A and B are shown apart, each in its own frame.
Chain A
Amino acid sequence: MRNYFSAECFKAFRRKYFYIALAVCLAGEGLLLWSYWFTYSRGNVHISFQSTAIELLLMLSFGLYATILLGDVVFSDQYKWGTLKNEVSYGVSRSVIYLGKLLAAGLLSVVACGVMMGFYLAGCWVLFPHGAGDGLFFQMLGYCLAGALPLWISALAVIMACFFNIRSSTVGTLLAVGILMVLSNIIQILGLLVNDVFLKIYEYMPTVIVDNLKNMAFDWSYVGRAWLVGAVWTVGAVAVGLMGFHRSEIR
Chain B
Amino acid sequence: MAESVLVTRALTKQYGGTAALAQADITIEQGQIYGLVGRNGAGKTTLIRMITAQTAPTSGELSLFGAEGERALAKMRSRIGSMVETPSFYPYLTARQNLEYYRIQRGIPGRRTVDEALEQAGLADTGKKLFKHFSLGMKQRLGLALALMNRPDFLVLDEPINGLDPEGIVELRNLLLQLNRERKTTILISSHILTELANLATHFGFIDQGHMLEQCSAQALEERCRACLELRVDDPAKAARVLEQVLDIRDFEVLSGGIIRLYSHLDHPERITRALVESGAAVYGLDSRGANLEDYFLSLIGGVHHA
Contact = CB atoms under 8 A, between A and B. Distances in A.
Of listed B53, B54, B97, B146, residue having the most chain A CB within 10 A: B53
Contact of B146 (A82, A86, A92, A250): A86
Nearest to A17: B92
B54 A90 contact: no
Contacts of A221: none
Interface residues of A, number: 27
Interface string A32-59: 0000000000000000000000000000
Nearest to A82: B88
A88 B52 contact: yes
Interface string B43-80: 00000010011110000000000000000011111101
A250 B209 CA distance: 22
B270 to A, nearest CB: 58
A85 interface: yes
Nearest to A85: B54
Contacts of A250: 49, 53-55
B102 A88 contact: no
Chain B interface helix/strand/loop/mixed:
mixed
Contact of B105 (A14, A17, A81, A87): A87
Interface in A80-109: 81-83, 85-93
A81 B84 contact: no
A3 B78 CA distance: 14
A225 interface: no
A4 interface: yes
A15 B146 CA distance: 21
Contacts of A76: 90
A7 B76 contact: no
Contacts of A92: 74, 105-106
Interface string A71-84: 00000100001110
A15 B97 CA distance: 11
Contact of A14 (B52, B82, B89, B97): B97
A62 interface: no
Given A14-B97, A85-B88, A91 B104 contact: no
Interface residues of B, number: 33
B52 A85 contact: yes
Interface string A6-21: 1110110011110000
Of listed A89, A90, A91, residue having the most chain B CB within 10 A: A90
Nearest to B89: A83
A15 B77 CA distance: 29
B77 A81 contact: no
A7 B53 CA distance: 21
Nearest to A8: B105
A219 interface: no
A251 interface: yes
A157 B156 CA distance: 35
A3 B105 contact: yes
B139 to A, nearest CB: 11
A83 B90 contact: yes
Contacts of A7: 101-102, 104-105
A91 to B, nearest CB: 3
A14 to B, nearest CB: 6
B90 A89 contact: no
A17 B91 CA distance: 13
B53 A11 contact: no
A4 B84 CA distance: 21
Contacts of B97: 14
Of listed A10, A17, A93, residue having the most chain B CB within 10 A: A10
A243 to B, nearest CB: 14
B76 A91 contact: yes
18 contacts: A3-B107, A7-B102, A8-B105, A10-B100, A10-B104, A11-B90, A81-B91, A82-B88, A85-B54, A89-B156, A90-B102, A90-B106, A90-B150, A91-B76, A91-B78, A249-B55, A250-B55, A251-B54
The 8 closest A-B pairs by CB, nearest first: A91-B77, A7-B105, A89-B52, A82-B88, A7-B104, A91-B74, A250-B54, A3-B107
Given A86-B88, A92-B105, 8 more contacts: A6-B105, A81-B91, A82-B86, A83-B89, A86-B89, A89-B156, A90-B106, A91-B75
